[in-house]
């Protein structure tokens, strides 16, 4: 198969320039996968941090002492003089995030079932304040529960019950299983293939096409005993081999970088979408190779076409951050549908027909692009031949 071997030789000569794109892909994938490790840690681990608060009590009862001890588990008490100016300054300068004032006789009235209020001042929107609030509510609600169901209970007895009850803690374990973050990072890696794979395919295909489209070489080939049909078949076989190899190398890189998700159904669909996108990239390379005349123009055209469509389609910047009109323009590029399909695959947790339908329709659009590019290339080549 001389034409097949020739195409493979031309590809081999272009491997150094093609490898650049592969290295960029692997590099970006490594960065993405390592950055994804940190949010995973944040989900799996929890560290309790104490908030700084001021606790001003005008009631020295055991119940309030118990409340102070309970809050003390999640807060540091800061001594601040009990006057309005000092307390406001402390809040403003964030020396404390919460001020709790217990009025005189609070415990007695609370036990008697009268309506009483704690005075609280806090930094608006502070998560620590909300946490302290919850703790106070929990303490007093539990105390109320005991008071309603136990007659003649002393304050000391009540505090003992409260301490016993509130010391019980539930252990929550966050499983390090697949999370949405993990899969969306995987989607990003596959999305990035839209750049690296397209670039590799266009450069490789154009290199072959440039060599074979030379008029003198075409004439020379026509004088040989190899028929046009045989020659074309060998050419297409070489293109398939090259595209398949380029796709396989990147898929293997994806697998190595994310071994965790290799055996999931999501990965199967990522593979399908990337395979269809590979056909599309090959057809686009065939089209560009049919149009472009000089080899010097190919890297420039590749960059304009691939980078342009990738920027518009949300390969580098998430699609959510792009404007509606930008996405509308991007919908005329196959990269947009590839990214859309991958993002949808990342969201899949059920694999029934209704969940898969949007994914398949996006993949079908990519296939339509591939067919259109291929048909256009054939038309251009035929027109050129007649001219």
- The site for another protein (CB under 8 A) is made up of 2, 5-6, 9-10, 13-14, 207, 211, 214, 216-217, 219-227
> Which residue's CB is nearer to another protein, number 5 or number 371?
5
> Which residue's CB is nearer to another protein, number 125 or number 225?
225
Task: Find the shortest distance in angstroms from Cβ 233 to another protein.
Answer: 15
Task: Find the shortest distance in angstroms from Cβ 206 to another protein.
Answer: 12
> Which residue's CB is nearer to another protein, number 24 or number 211?
211
> Which residue's CB is nearer to another protein, number 226 or number 329?
226
Report the relative pairing of strands 98-102 and 75-77 from DSSP bridges.
unpaired
> Which residue's CB is nearer to another protein, number 226 or number 322?
226
Task: Find the shortest distance in angstroms from Cβ 6 to another protein.
Answer: 6
Task: Find the shortest distance in angstroms from Cβ 178 to another protein.
Answer: 46
Q: What is the 3-state secondary structure (H, E, C) of the chain?
A: CHHHHHHHHHHHHCHHHHHHHHHHHHHHHHHHHHHHHHHHHHHHCCCCCCEEEEEEECCCCHHHHHHHHHHHCCEEECCCCCCHHHHHHHHHCCCCCEEEEECCCHHHHHHCCCCCCCEEEECCCCHHHHHHHHHHHHHHHHHHHHHHHCCCCCHHHHHHHHHHHHCCCCCCCCCCCCCHHHHHHHHHHHHHHHHHHHHHHHHHHHHHHHHHHCHHHHHHHHCCCCCHHHHHHHHHHHHHHHHHHHHHHHHHHHHHHCHHHCCCHHHHHHHHHHHHHHHHHHHHHHHHHHHCCCCCHHHHHHHHHHHHHHHHHCCCCCHHHCCHHHHHHHCCCHHHHHHHHHHHHHHCCCCCHHHHHHHHHHHHHHHHHHHHHHHHHHHHHHHHHHC
Task: Find the shortest distance in angstroms from Cβ 211 to another protein.
Answer: 6
Task: Find the shortest distance in angstroms from Cβ 5 to another protein.
Answer: 7
Task: Find the shortest distance in angstroms from Cβ 289 to another protein.
Answer: 14
Task: Find the shortest distance in angstroms from Cβ 381 to another protein.
Answer: 18
> Which residue's CB is nearer to another protein, number 221 or number 301?
221
> Which residue's CB is nearer to another protein, number 234 or number 290?
234
> Which residue's CB is nearer to another protein, number 7 or number 346?
7
């Amino acid at each position: 198969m001389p034409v097949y071997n020739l195409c493979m030789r031309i590809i081999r000569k272009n491997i150094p320039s093609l490898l650049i794109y592969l290295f960029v892909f692997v590099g970006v994938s490594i960065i993405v996968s390592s950055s994804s490790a940190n949010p995973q840690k944040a989900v799996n681990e929890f560290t309790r941090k104490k908030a700084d608060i001021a606790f001003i009590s005008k009631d020295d009862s055991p119940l309030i002492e118990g409340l102070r001890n309970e809050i003390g588990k999640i807060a540091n008490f800061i001594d601040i003089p009990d006057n309005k100016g000092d307390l406001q300054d402390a809040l403003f300068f964030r020396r404390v995030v919460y001020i709790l004032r217990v009025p005189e006789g609070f415990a007695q009235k609370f036990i008697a079932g009268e309506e009483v209020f704690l005075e609280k001042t806090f930094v608006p929107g502070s998560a620590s304040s909300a946490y302290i609030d919850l703790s106070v509510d929990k303490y007093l609600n539990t105390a109320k529960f005991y008071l309603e169901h136990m007659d003649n209970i002393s304050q000391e007895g009540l505090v003992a019950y409260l301490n016993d009850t509130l010391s019980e803690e539930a252990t929550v374990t966050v499983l390090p299983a697949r999370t949405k973050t993990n899969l969306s990072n995987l989607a990003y890696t596959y999305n990035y293939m839209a750049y690296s794979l397209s670039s590799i395919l266009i450069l490789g295909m154009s290199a072959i096409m440039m060599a074979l489209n030379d008029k003198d070489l075409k004439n020379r080939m026509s004088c040989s005993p190899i028929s046009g049909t045989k020659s074309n078949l060998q050419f297409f076989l070489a293109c398939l081999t090259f595209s398949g190899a380029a796709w396989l190398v990147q898929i293997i890189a994806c697998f190595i970088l994310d071994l965790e998700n290799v055996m999931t159904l999501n990965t199967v669909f990522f593979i399908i979408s990337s395979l269809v996108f590979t056909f599309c990239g090959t057809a686009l390379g065939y089209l560009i190779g049919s149009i472009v005349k000089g080899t010097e123009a190919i890297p420039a055209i590749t960059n304009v076409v691939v980078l342009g469509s990738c920027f518009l389609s949300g390969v580098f910047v998430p699609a959510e951050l792009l404007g509606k009109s930008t996405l509308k323009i991007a919908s005329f590029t196959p990269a947009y549908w590839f990214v859309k399909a991958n993002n949808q695959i990342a969201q899949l947790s059920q694999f029934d027909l209704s969940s898969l339908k949007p994914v398949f329709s996006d993949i079908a659009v990519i296939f339509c692009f591939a067919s259109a590019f291929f048909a256009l290339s054939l038309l251009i080549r035929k027109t050129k031949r007649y001219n």
